[in-house]
Every structure is written in structure tokens, then in C-alpha cells.
Amino acid sequence: MNILVINCGSSSLKFQLIDSESEACIAKGLCERIGIEGSRITYSPAGGEKEQRETPMPDHTEAIRLVLEALTNEKTGVVKDLSQIGAVGHRIVHGGEKFAASTLIDGDVIRAIEECNDLAPLHNPANLIGIEACRKLMPNTPMVGVFDTAFHQTMPQEAYLYGLPYEYYQKYKIRRYGFHGTSHSYVSRRAAQFLGKDYSQLKTVVCHLGNGASVSAVKNGVCVDTSMGLTPLEGLIMGTRCGDIDPAVIEFLAHKENKTIDEIMAVLNKKSGVLGLSDNLSSDFRDLEAGWNAGDENAVRAIRAFCYRTAKYIGAYAAAMNGVDVICFTAGVGENGPLVRRIICSYLGYLGVTLDEEANALRGEEKVISTPDSRTVVLSIPTNEELAIARETCRLVKEG
Ligand code: ADP
């Protein structure tokens, strides 16, 4: 069955068409600047030429119509007509406490996702627009929602509660939810499979280090803790997000800089992280690595702080699980960043970690990067959230 995977943001939409039998990506692409001037679609059929063209996209329905047109185009398309798309899998950012697993989408599910809008005001409404657009254009095609938060719903209360008055949890559901769940689930499972170990017997720490970054602790096949919280702002130092800070910083800065809460939040989300720490050198680790190699103190400061914070979380999760068997690095920086992996692992001697420098030099490969005598195994595992969404979608559609 061909599964169309949709990841809908407020002004962008990423898509992949995946054959669920071979698990191959048949075509993929991206719509950008939806609802803004200069919108464009990029479309790459597997084995064919990538094409990009500017075309008006006043809304997401038009964007999805263009995606479907590209996929069924007589010359460059990959399917004859829409009947060859068996199901659509939607990435949904926040499922609150309502969704601990992926689900077939119907009217009730849409209403339940809407009820989570408060928790992710930028993301969930965009995800819902994508669902509505597909419903309009492909009314008879089954759809599945795969939630970023679902995998983390197994966290115990002591891990997900904040030290706030309990009534705020009861009234507003303020708690830690965690994100990147599809990736943490895929990578932790894949690591066990790759090592030929039993997933239900393993203590794994997954470091998803991309532009957004989070760490999770997966014990015996279930997530017991993760570094992002109510929103994706908590935890690691990220590309542009600050991660953990003293909440009093917000009031302090608001007074000093004469800024509103919204303005401070924009700083914490968009101007902080390694971008802010490097004094605006870059949020991109390729630039920071180049800066590190050239001895640029802004790059060195940002990379050191990023790695230290990540190593601290690994230590916290070794404590939470009373040990760790496997540490996985994934996502853009985790898969492609030998420097970052080396610095993080340099803090982990107490876990018996020794890195194989030669293996660690490789980028973007599924590989053991620790030495054979390393007490904890360290892996680089490329994540594949689209494939994970396609698998979930196929499974649920077949189960009916
Ligand atoms: P997101 O999905 O959160 O936008 P990604 O997982 O794509 O993020 O990761 C983006 C990050 O990965 C960027 O900081 C980028 O610099 C880094 N990255 C990608 N390729 C490389 C590479 N070859 N070497 C070092 N860093 C890389």
C-alpha cells in the first residue's frame, strides 16, 4: 500500500509517499511559504529529477492539491491516480494526555486534537488544517494521526509532574509531555534490533540532536523520561531554543529590556540556544564545527555548552534507569556530528564508554561507534520519522 505521509506546519508542508511493503520512499517534497507571497513546491520522485517551481498557494488545501497533482502527473508522477494512495499518515505535534498511541482519524479524534490546541498553539492548528485539506480532496482515503507526544505517555508521574501547585495540573494539564516521540520510539527499537538484543530488556538513552533536540530514557521498551516538557522549549540547549533556564530569568529580562512576556518568549525560542550562545554566529552545527576548527571562541563556547548539557541529561537518565546499556545518537547533528559525539562521550567515562575514533568519524550511518570493550554501547542510528509514521498508518488501516 502507498502511504502519503504529511507533516504540516503553519506555512510549510513536507510530504513523502512510501510503499509500505518495500518501505521505499517513492517520492518526497516540500511546500513552502503557504499563504505568503513567493510560495513554492519542491518535488523529488525517487530516481528522477528534483523539480522546484514557484506557484501561488493561498492555503493548505491548495498546497495539498498541488502535491497530489505532482504525485499523479502524467510525466513525472509516481502513481496513476489517487486510488493508488491507500492511506494518509499525519504527523501531529501534541496529543496531550488524550493520545498514548497513533489513531485512525474520525470526527471525534479531530475534536480531541482541537482540545489540545492550547498546549501547542502554533503547531496543532496547522496539523488540523492539513487533515481537513486531505479530507476535502481525498474523502474516502483513511487517515491516521501519529503524535509526537504519544511515546512519552508512559512516563511515571514523578517524571512528568512539575514542582508546581498540583491544582494547575488538574485544571490546565500543565505537566511534561515530551516531543520527538516518533523518533525516540523508532531509534530505540531499531537500536535493539541492530544489536540483536531484546527491546524489552534494554536500558537505552536516545539523544535526538537536530535543530530541535531532546534526550529520552527508554527502559524495557517504554519511555520513562524525556527532556522536553509542556512545550519543546525545555531541556537541552538547541539550535535557537534555550532549553532549561531558571524561570526567574523571564521576569528579570522583562524588567531590564522593557519587553513583554511574548517578546521574551520569542527570544527564548528563536534567538537563544547555540545561536545566542555563539553571539549570533550560527544555529547550524556545520558552521559551528567550522568555527571550532578555526578556533573561533564563539563557536567553541556554544558547542561546549551544548555538549555539557547533553552529557548531564545522559547522566540523569542513567540514574533514572539505574544504569544504561545503549546510548544512541540521531537526527542532523547526532547522525553527522563526530565532534559533538566525541565531546559528549568524553564525559561518560564513569559509564565505561570508550569511543572508537575511526567509527565515530563516519557521518549518517547506522553504526556502533564505541570500542568492542566499551561497557556501554554507543550507536549512531539515522532516524526516519516518515517511515515510522507510514508503518503506524499501515498497521492501523489494516487492523481497521
Ligand atoms: P530539524 O529536523 O530539527 O530541523 P535536523 O535533524 O535536520 O533538524 O538537524 C539539523 C541540524 O543538523 C543542523 O544544525 C545541521 O547543521 C546539522 N547537520 C546536518 N548535516 C550535518 C553535517 N554533515 N555535519 C554536521 N552537522 C550537520
Residue 287 Cα to ligand 1 middle (Å):
11
Is the Cβ atom of 210 under 6 angstroms away from ligand 1? yes
Is residue 44 one of the residues assigned to a domain?
yes
- The whole-chain average pLDDT of the chain stands at 96
- Does a structural domain hold residue 335? yes
CA of 211 to the centre of ligand 1 (A): 6
The residue nearest atom 13 of ligand 1, judged by CA position, is 284
Catalytic residues: 148
286 lines ligand 1 (CB under 6 A): yes
Total domains present in the chain: 2
Q: Are residues 137 and 219 in the same domain?
A: no
For residue 258, pLDDT beyond 90: yes
Kindly state whether residues 91 and 216 are assigned to the same domain: no
User: pLDDT, tens digit, for every residue of 325-361?
Assistant: 999 999 999 999 999 999 999 999 999 999 999 999 9
Question: Could you tell me if the CB of 296 is within 6 A of ligand 1?
Answer: no
- For residues 134 and 233, state if they share a domain: no
| CB of 239 sitting under 6 A from ligand 1 | yes
Mean pLDDT score, 261-279: 97
CA of 210 to the centre of ligand 1 (A): 5
Does residue 20 sit in the same domain as residue 134?
yes
Q: Is 331 in the pocket of ligand 1 (CB under 6 A)?
A: yes
Q: How far is it, in rounded angstroms, from Cα 247 to Cα 233?
A: 12
How many whole angstroms from 333 Cα to the centroid of ligand 1? 5
Ligand 1 atom closest to the CA of 213, numbered from 1: 3
Residue 102 lies in a domain: yes
**Residues 251 and 360 placed together within one structural domain of the fold:** yes
One domain, residues 208 and 346: yes
pLDDT tens per residue, range 157-213: 999 999 999 999 999 999 999 999 999 999 999 999 999 999 999 999 999 999 999
The CATH number given to whatever domain includes residue 237 is 3.30.420.40
- Domain identity same for 267 and 354: yes
Query: What pTM was computed for the model?
Result: 0.95
Residue 39: per-residue pLDDT? 96
The answer to whether residues 239 and 123 belong to one domain is no
For residue 216, being part of any structural domain is answered with: yes
220 and 129 belong to one structural domain: no
Does residue 141 sit in the same domain as residue 265?
Answer: no
pLDDT per residue over 217-246, tens digit each?
A: 999 999 999 999 999 999 999 999 999 999
The Cα 165–Cα 53 span in angstroms is 52
The verdict on residue 154 lying in a domain is no
Q: Is residue 153 part of a domain?
A: no
Give me the percent of the chain exceeding a pLDDT of 90: 97
Task: Specify if 161 maps to a domain.
Answer: no
Residue range of the domain that includes 223: 197-380
